[in-house]
Amino acid sequence: MPRFDSPRLLADIGGTYARFALETGPGEFTQMASLRCADHADFHAAVRAYLESLNWPEGAQQIAHAAVAIANPVEGDRVRMTNYHWQFSIDEMRQRLGFDTLVVVNDFTALAMALPRLAEVDVRQVGGGQARRPSVIGLLGAGTGLGVSGLIPAGEGWIALGTEGGHVNFGPRDEREMDILKFAWQTLDHVSYERLISGPGLELIHRALAARHGVDAPTLQAPAITQRALDEGDALCLETLEVFCGLLGTAAANLAVTLGSLGGIYIGGGIVPRLGEYFDRSPFRARFEDKGRFRDYVSAIPTFVITAENATFKGASAILENQLRNLQASPGSAILGQIRRARSELSPAELRVADLVLAQPRSVLNDPIAEIARAAGVSQPTVIRFCRSLGCEGLSDFKLRLASGLTGTVPVTHTQVNTNDSMLELGAKVLGNTASAILQVRSHLNRDTIDRAIDLLLSAHRIEFFALGHYSVVAQDAQFKFLRFGMPCGAYTDPRLQLLAADVLREGDVAVVISSGGRLPELLSVVEKAQERGAKVVAITASQSPLAKKADVTLIVDHIEDIATHLPMVSRILHLLVIDILAVGVAMRRSPDSIAALGDGPDEEVAKSGRAGAAPGVSTASPLARLTSHSR
């Protein structure tokens, strides 16, 4: 099995323990250790303590890449643990530890990504049911809190859901559980499933049952409750486990019907695997199947206990590997590493800009050029020269590469908008999801295919744009832009007209086919007809789709939106941006007048003076300022 150039640090950080390991090759974990969080002041101290304890072979390579799975949501650069006081900046921590890459993800997102990599010996099935493949998989597990996640199949891979499903409201099923809820209400305003299905939850259930029975029971911690139940047969502790397993069964069933988890429900965390055979005969599976009219539905879904000790490490490793692969596939995205390597070739002034970027990359990402120049103590032209010395076209291009290269959270999750969001939160989520998708598409762009597409458009006798449904606006936008270049073109969004238009194409014409999924038979028929007539086909679509395989040139846009449940938003924006790329590319190879044609309309003063260009609606004022504006 191939070994890595340097060992990779993996960490699984919970509210009680911080587990560490080194991965020297795919799936090869060594020097594993578990440290108590309470013994260390912060996350940095815990990592340093682990690193200092390592038994390094002589001449071993130092750690360059690390992945951390942590028990709290991860959004942006700042990490604040839910069940512990640790907090830190991801990028600051990366610099302090001297890593090239530091990926931080939710621990259950990491565990979810491990599921497809688990062997049969790594899990134990509880009850009946048969998993369907490929189908959605659900995951939950109790430890310090209650983690909830899921996996959605997407092509040849998976999309992990980053959720906080453990915080949904607890709903009692019988009088005993109602008494437990009333007991919890004495100290808690909001009682979620996590308050009961967790280590602290076991303790709360034990106290609530003691009060219900009028028993003066000692206050016990979760491990003692489990030990007394399984080893000593303590009646109150056994009842506590019974309630706990029943509640977990209900929570698992709720997750199964919510996600449609026909691929199965997996149980992880630190508590259930330690229950062993007791869990198999506990009320868990009976409560899982107790779904009224949906009993048959959930009875067909299998449930598994994860028994593998290193499952979270496997998931974190998979996410880190994917991140590194993306960085290697897009050379410009690893911009920070490129800056470090280029230091010896920079001028003294440019070196001051490089030091600023390396020390404060996120500030540079957000600051205007004047502030960057002031902070570095250089002129604004020096900032531009620095960007160009790295192969960037300018500051904007540099910032795009910097944004894709900053090693913070991995975009494996989609932040869900919900009814409780404020308008500010809603706006931030929509913009964040869109920005993340744009950066992902940017990393997939291929210069050669863009050049080939632009060459075809420039030499075309006529260009026809084809799209259907919600993507019709993209074809219409493209027609508007290219007509303003004075290029013969049309947009067809009706299936009958599309076939008629394709039937009159000829050699030297270009058909641009726009489709999110690339599987619509109407558009595939257009491609076949166009190619029969000798025309070339440029596709803007998903990779590995039938349309992508049929087209002469394919521009990849991989962003999946289910139009059966909601209107496509992000994917439509991505397709519009690809049209902009083509329009700007064509404009840059034509005359300045064609660049100006991309503006929104005629400049008022130019129009009055009669100096407008030959093409109607062409502005000759500030041509470069509007290169990527959409038609109004």
What are the tens digits of pLDDT across the range 585-627? 998 888 655 455 455 444 444 344 443 343 333 332 333 333 3
Max Cα-Cα span within the chain: 97
Facing residues of 23 across strands?
A: 8, 29
Per-residue confidence (pLDDT) for residue 45, from 0 to 100? 94
What is the per-residue pLDDT for 564? 47
CB atoms within 10 A of CB 472: 18
Q: Is the pTM of this model over 0.85?
A: no
55, two tokens: 């038994």
Which two tokens mark 456? 């075809």
Q: What are phi and psi of 65, to 5 degrees?
A: -130, 140
Q: What is the spatial distance between Cα 307 and Cα 277, in angstroms, rounded to a whole number? A: 12
Residue 160 confidence (pLDDT): 82
CA dihedral 440, 441, 446, 447 (to 10 degrees): -110
Summarised one tens digit per residue, pLDDT across range 407-428 is: 444 333 444 555 665 676 666 6
User: Which residue matches tokens 């989520």?
Assistant: 429
Give exposure, 602-624, as e/b (b: 16+ Cβ within 10 Å): bbeebeeeeebbeeebbbbbebe
Structure tokens at 429: 């989520």
Distance in angstroms (rounded) separating the CA atoms of residues 493 and 472 = 6
Q: What are phi and psi of 24, to 5 degrees?
A: -95, -20
Alpha carbon 287 to its chain's center: 33
Look at residue 271 in the predicted model and tell me its pLDDT: 93
The residue written with tokens 């951390």 in the block is 68
Closest CA to 448 of 456, 440, 460, 438: 456
Left (φ > 0), alpha (ψ -120 to 50) or beta: where does 537 sit? beta
Distance CA(58)–CA(45), nearest Å, equals 25
Backbone φ and ψ for 29, nearest 5 degrees, come out as -105, 130
Weakly modelled stretches of the chain, pLDDT under 50: 1, 329-333, 407-415, 562-566, 594, 597, 600-632
CB-facing half-sphere around the CA of 291: CA atoms within 13 A:
22
CA distance 271 to 248: 11
DSSP 315-379: HHHHHHHHHHHHHHHSGGG-HHHHHHHHGGGS-HHHHHHHHHHHH-HHHHHHS-HHHHHHHHTS-
* Alpha-carbon span 317 to 315, nearest angstrom: 5
